Amino acid sequence: MLISGFISSALILAMLTQTNTTSCVLVAPVIPPFSATIRDPFRQPSCERCAGNRGIEYNTQPGTPITAGANGTVSFYGQVGGTKYLVIRTTAGRRLTYGSIASTNLRLGAAVIAGQTIGTTGTTLYFGVRETSLSNNRYIDIYTAVYVDPAKYLTGNSQFFSRVHLVSGAVAGFRSVDRGSSC
């Protein structure tokens, strides 16, 4: 009885401490036959309101199709400071932000699939990733969104990155490369 209780406790503890070994691999925002070059890489700001680049900016040809990085839902579409943005909240809670959008047919609440065309670019494209984290306050739990370098999700995609030239292997329609990860 004591041994079976110990084994059960050990199994429960092992399940609780098991780490998630799946990795998030996002579809690149521009896929072949189109291409984009990095204009301004991610630069982590030193404070919340300090200067920096909270994503990656690309030079693109006007009308270049923009591709959804992961499965999710459109959580924002509109202008901020005269620039059109579209934000996809992924199934894992990340927010993928696409800026300098020339056009899109998507609206708030629309479901998207990784690899789906979500709009077109002007001469540039901004791509940012925000992760949600729990900040434990003395009084309440606060969920905060932290900007992270999108390249950490794109460089792991062997189909994607070669120095400053952006390509992806998600050419076949709406084929998802999310592969059940926690994107």
CATH code for the domain in which residue 32 is found: 2.70.70.10
Q: Please determine, for residue 151, whether its predicted confidence score (pLDDT) is greater than 80.
A: yes
pLDDT digits (tens, 9 = 90+) for 32-84: 778 888 999 999 888 878 888 899 999 999 999 999 999 999 999 999 999 99
* E strand map for the chain: 36-40, 56-59, 65-67, 72-80, 83-90, 95-103, 111-112, 117-136, 141-148, 161-162, 165-166
Residue with tokens 């996809």: 88
Which residue would you say has higher pLDDT here, 24 or 114? 114
Classify residue 45: in a domain, yes or no: yes
pLDDT at position 109: 96
Q: Please determine, for residue 133, whether its predicted confidence score (pLDDT) is greater than 80.
A: no
**Residue 1: CB atoms within 10 Å:** 5
Dist CA 175 CA 4 (whole Å): 47
Dist CA 61 CA 65 (whole Å): 10
Classify residue 15: in a domain, yes or no: no
Classify residue 161: in a domain, yes or no: yes
State the pairing for strand pair 161-162/65-67: unpaired
Dist CA 72 CA 114 (whole Å): 8
Q: What confidence category does residue 173 fall into, taking pLDDT thresholds of 50, 70 and 90?
A: very low
Count up the domains in the chain and report the number.
Answer: 1
- Residue 27 DSSP label: P
Whether this model's pTM surpasses 0.75: no
Dist CA 125 CA 85 (whole Å): 10
Note if the bond before 33 is cis, omega within 30 degrees.
yes
pLDDT at position 2: 44
Computed from CA positions of residues 39, 133, 119, 174, in that sequence, does the dihedral angle turn out positive or negative? positive
Classify residue 58: in a domain, yes or no: yes
Amino acid at 120: T
Whole-number percent of the chain with pLDDT over 90: 43
Classify residue 101: in a domain, yes or no: yes
Amino acid at 90: T
Which residue would you say has higher pLDDT here, 56 or 157? 56
| Domain hosting residue 43, numbered range | 27-166
Residue 176's alpha-carbon distances to 3, 170, 172, in angstroms, are 46, 7, 9
26 class by beta-carbon count within 10 Å (0-12 exposed, 13-18 middle, 19+ buried): buried
Classify residue 21: in a domain, yes or no: no
Classify residue 1: in a domain, yes or no: no
Q: Dig out the tokens for 78 from the structure.
A: 């509109």
Classify residue 173: in a domain, yes or no: no
Q: Dig out the tokens for 152 from the structure.
A: 């950490």
